[in-house]
């Protein structure tokens, strides 16, 4: 495999970017917004010596939902997939990490909902600091494994339980996020995909934050207070791909 991958928290990545900027030698830096068309990626990559050679291996990363920052030269040849979307295309001579450093140094206001049927956690963060939260549980029976009319009645009962549960969680979401609504930069969800989809359909308040939702879902199994603090670390974590030709 011609590349290695690691996940770095905010402070570690800022330290790495400081090392990159201090490196001497011929290099270039490229910033790509989310879902940049392949032909534009190729056109921009041609402006950084040696990058086109690596494109077949790096292309899946450069089409990241949050965009990418590419630092290419000697001794660093790497792609950073940041925690928040890159705002626009840009290319620079040398190792220029300022746009990425500015992103990482900004204390964004982040709303979070972690949800599984029967448990939830709602939070608001300033940077990585939790400033408002609510966690709780609610009764939603497990699926009925037998058929027949009793199963149909059970399914309807379960659907009502889920609807009631979603309503409670939506109320807590509004209670804790609405005071920060004008300040929230990003919204992130965690939990099971279909449960979250059903919740967002039921919760009208979530529509007010739909355009600020980050393009990924956190894999959360047990929404609890401690999980909120662990989840925000995931949000601020970046993927770093280092290209290693010949490996």
134 and 219 inside one domain? yes
Cα 206 versus chain centre, distance: 17
**Burial category of 224 from C-beta neighbours within 10 Å (exposed 0-12, middle 13-18, buried 19 and up):** middle
Give me the helix-helix angle, 149-177 and 193-202, nearest 10°: 70
55 and 143 inside one domain? no
Q: Which helix (H) or strand (E) holds 88?
A: none
Give me the helix-helix angle, 38-45 and 51-62, nearest 10°: 150
76 and 130 inside one domain? no
- In this prediction, residue 246 carries a pLDDT of 62
Domain boundary (105, 120, 144) is at: 105
- Per-residue pLDDT, averaged over 221-237, amounts to 92
pLDDT digits (tens, 9 = 90+) for 70-92: 999 989 999 999 999 999 999 99
Query: Could you give the dihedral angle defined by the CA atoms of residues 39, 42, 47 and 49, in that order, rounded to the nearest 10 degrees?
Result: -170
Better-scored residue on pLDDT, 55 or 181: 181
User: Would you say residue 246 lies in a domain?
Assistant: no
91 and 143 inside one domain? no
> Residue 200 is encoded by which pair of tokens?
């967002």
DSSP 186: E
DSSP-assigned letters across all residues of 27-74? EEEEEE-TT--HHHHHHHHTTSTTHHHHHHHHHHHHT-TT-EEEEEES
10 and 72 inside one domain? yes
pLDDT digits (tens, 9 = 90+) for 101-158: 999 999 999 999 999 888 999 999 999 999 999 999 864 445 545 554 455 554 554 5
122 and 229 inside one domain? yes
Residue with tokens 């990482």: 104
pLDDT above 90 for 3: no
128 and 205 inside one domain? yes
User: Would you say residue 243 lies in a domain?
Assistant: no
Domain boundary (86, 105, 124) is at: 105
User: Would you say residue 241 lies in a domain?
Assistant: no
177 and 78 inside one domain? no
User: Would you say residue 244 lies in a domain?
Assistant: no
Partners of 241 in the beta sheet? 5, 79
User: Would you say residue 191 lies in a domain?
Assistant: yes
Cα 167 versus chain centre, distance: 25
Question: Residue 45's domain spans which residues?
Answer: 3-105
User: Would you say residue 59 lies in a domain?
Assistant: yes
44 and 121 inside one domain? no
- In this prediction, residue 144 carries a pLDDT of 47
* Distance set, CA 124 to CA 23, 48, 50, 106, 134 (Å): 38, 40, 43, 16, 10
Q: How many domains does the chain have?
A: 2
Question: 181: Cβ–Cβ under 8 A, 6 or more apart, which residues?
Answer: 208, 209
pLDDT digits (tens, 9 = 90+) for 205-225: 999 999 999 999 999 988 989
Confidence label for 2 from pLDDT (cuts 50, 70 and 90): confident
Distance CA 180, CA 201 (A): 22
pLDDT above 80 for 181: yes
Cα 78 versus chain centre, distance: 20
Domain containing 140 — which CATH number?
A: 3.30.420.60
54 and 131 inside one domain? no
pLDDT digits (tens, 9 = 90+) for 6-57: 999 999 999 999 999 999 888 999 999 998 888 998 899 889 988 988 888 8
Domain boundary (72, 105, 138) is at: 105
Domain containing 65 — which CATH number?
A: 3.30.960.10
129 and 164 inside one domain? yes
44 and 113 inside one domain? no
User: Would you say residue 200 lies in a domain?
Assistant: yes
User: Would you say residue 242 lies in a domain?
Assistant: no
- In this prediction, residue 154 carries a pLDDT of 46
- In this prediction, residue 16 carries a pLDDT of 97
- In this prediction, residue 148 carries a pLDDT of 46
- In this prediction, residue 100 carries a pLDDT of 97
> Residue 167 is encoded by which pair of tokens?
């309503």
Q: Burial letters for 92-128: b for 16+ Cβ neighbours within 10 Å, e otherwise?
A: beebbbebbeebbeeebbbbbbbbbbbbbbbbbbeee
């Amino acid at each position: 495999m011609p590349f290695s991958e690691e996940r770095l928290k905010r402070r570690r990545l800022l330290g790495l970017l400081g090392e990159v900027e201090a490196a001497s030698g011929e290099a270039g830096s490229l910033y790509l917004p989310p879902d940049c068309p392949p032909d534009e990626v190729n056109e921009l990559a041609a402006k950084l010596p040696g990058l086109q050679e690596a494109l077949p291996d790096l292309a899946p990363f450069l089409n990241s939902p949050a965009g990418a920052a590419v630092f290419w030269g000697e001794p660093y040849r790497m792609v950073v997939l940041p925690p928040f979307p890159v705002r626009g295309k840009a290319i620079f001579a040398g190792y220029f990490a300022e746009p990425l450093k500015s992103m990482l140094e900004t204390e964004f206001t982040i709303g979070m909902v972690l949800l599984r049927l029967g448990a939830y956690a709602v939070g608001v963060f300033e940077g990585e600091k939790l400033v408002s939260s609510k966690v709780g549980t609610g009764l939603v029976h497990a699926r009925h494994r037998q058929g027949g009319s009793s199963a149909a009645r059970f399914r309807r009962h379960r659907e009502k339980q889920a609807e009631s549960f979603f309503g409670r969680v939506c109320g807590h979401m509004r209670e804790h996020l609405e005071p920060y609504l004008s300040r929230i930069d990003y919204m992130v969800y965690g939990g099971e995909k279909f449960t979250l989809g059903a919740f967002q359909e039921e919760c009208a308040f979530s529509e007010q934050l739909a355009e600020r939702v980050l393009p990924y879902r956190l894999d959360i199994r047990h929404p609890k207070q401690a999980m909120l603090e662990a989840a925000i670390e995931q949000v601020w974590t970046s993927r770093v791909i280092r290209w290693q030709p010949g490996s």
